[in-house]
């Protein structure tokens, strides 16, 4: 953890010693009473935390807050709902890269059972957002939805911005060669592990998506997400 995140409702209460953040403070950072650490409020400011006291059951902490980190880039990801382990990687790494939203949608070639994973039903998915933000030294967590149909997700997109869909079969140009027509927002759409079905391609075209590819090599979904977001961030001048 490069930054230890807290929800606002947590900062006035003792931190249980069994909490992973307490274990990190004591066993990894080796903080004693009076020791400081980098802290942040989810979607809020960063600052310094102080270990005021270490009790048998909990740590008493105090905080001094500064300014919030820079806002994330205006990049949204639409991803065909992948297997849970792949989704975990995307949740963590896309948050670390700084996207504003992640929408995991049901697709024709995807496995519908993935929507019923405990990753989603237990709320575990948020833990991976926090992990990515802590790694990136930011407090911003993206908006996340899952289990909607592609058409429903497309209908809620902002009216302005650039829309790009990755496709290994019908895309004519590389993503690195695509121009951002409008950088107020960039939407990247990636299919499930087996890609888009023909009706989904037509739906994306009807919503003004330009098709692009990442070269001749077929990448894992989580790798393609990372590469695509990195290329767009470079075009936005944020790398």
The answer, yes or no, to whether residue 238 has pLDDT greater than 90, is: no
pLDDT tens digit sequence for 126-181:
999 999 999 999 999 999 999 999 999 999 998 888 999 999 888 888 998 888 87
Strand partners of residue 75: 186
Q: Could you tell me the residue ranges of all domains in the chain?
A: 4-65, 75-236
Range picked from 67-76, 85-94, 154-163 for highest mean pLDDT: 85-94
Superfamily for the 4-65 domain: Hypothetical PUA domain-like; domain 1 (2.40.240.20)
pLDDT digits 0-9 by tens, 93-125:
999 999 999 999 999 988 889 999 999 999 999
Largest pairwise CA distance in the chain: 63
For 161, the token pair is 């911005």
Q: Is the pTM of this model over 0.85?
A: yes
Q: What are phi and psi of 147, to 5 degrees?
A: 85, 5
Helix, strand or coil, per DSSP, at residue 117: coil
CATH architecture of 75-236: 3-Layer(aba) Sandwich (3.40)
pLDDT digits (tens, 9 = 90+) for 37-59: 999 999 999 999 999 999 999 99
Cα distances (angstroms) measured from residue 177 to each of 191, 212, 224 = 20, 9, 16
- Angle, to 10 degrees, between the axis of helix 84-97 and the axis of helix 124-136? 30
75-236 matches 4-65 in CATH topology: no
């Amino acid at each position: 953890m490069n930054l230890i995140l807290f929800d606002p409702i947590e900062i006035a209460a003792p931190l249980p010693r069994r909490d992973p953040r307490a274990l990190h403070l004591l066993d990894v950072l080796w903080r004693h009473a009076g020791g400081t650490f980098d802290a942040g409020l989810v979607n809020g400011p960063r600052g310094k935390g102080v270990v005021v006291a270490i009790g048998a059951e909990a740590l008493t902490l105090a905080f001094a807050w500064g300014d919030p980190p820079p806002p994330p880039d205006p990049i949204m990801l639409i991803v065909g709902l992948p297997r849970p382990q792949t989704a975990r990687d995307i949740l963590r790494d896309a948050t670390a890269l700084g996207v504003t939203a992640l929408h995991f949608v049901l697709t024709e070639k995807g496995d519908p059972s993935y929507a019923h994973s405990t990753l989603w039903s237990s709320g575990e998915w948020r833990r991976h957002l926090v992990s990515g933000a802590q790694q990136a030294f930011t407090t911003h967590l993206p908006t996340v939805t899952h289990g909607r149909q592609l058409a429903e997700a497309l209908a809620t997109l902002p009216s302005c911005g650039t829309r790009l869909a990755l496709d290994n079969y019908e895309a004519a140009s590389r993503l690195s060669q695509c121009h951002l027509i409008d950088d107020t927002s960039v939407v990247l759409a990636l299919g499930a592990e087996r890609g888009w079905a023909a009706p989904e391609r037509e739906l994306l075209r009807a919503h003004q998506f330009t098709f692009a590819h990442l070269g001749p090599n077929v990448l894992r979904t989580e790798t393609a997400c990372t590469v695509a977001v990195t290329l767009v961030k470079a075009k936005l001048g944020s790398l």
